Amino acid sequence: MGTKNLIGTRIRTLRLSHGMTQADLAKALNQSQSSITMYETGRREPDFETLEALADVFNVPLIYFVEGGGIVTVGDSTVVHTDIPANNDVRLLVRGLNQLTPEQIAQAKNVFRAMFAITNPELFEEGDDDK
């Protein structure tokens, strides 16, 4: 299944599960009903801002619209996430992490280790770098 078809299928599934018409969703996104039709049929792919708005409307993580449903590439690493919260702070953080070099990712890990050392030390246990 192509990316457009996957996204379209997921949009349609969410819309129907929320009891919304295409017109309802178009109004919620401030777009035309024909745009919603094109997204759902795979004739057009929503831009990133529209995907963010869809995630907000349906209260799902943005990653839901990505093939694999929970696979995120951070630098040269691929990380599987199934429970990324659907909030702007996390979206901003993930977007920023995607721009980092491997060296910067290593530095970010050290910062996170230090931040959580007292409150949640189990988040970054020794030897977890490859998990």
pLDDT, tens only, 42-78: 899 898 889 989 988 988 777 777 755 544 444 454 4
Total Cβ atoms within 10 A of residue 105: 15
Class of domain 1-99: mainly alpha
Predicted TM-score (pTM) of the model is 0.52
User: What are 78-119's pLDDT values in tens digits?
Assistant: 444 444 445 556 666 766 776 778 888 888 878 877 777 777
Cα–Cα distance list, 34 to 17, 54, 90, 93, 105 (Å)? 20, 16, 31, 33, 41
| Cβ contact 9:47 at 8 Å | no
- Bridge partner residues of 72 (DSSP): 79
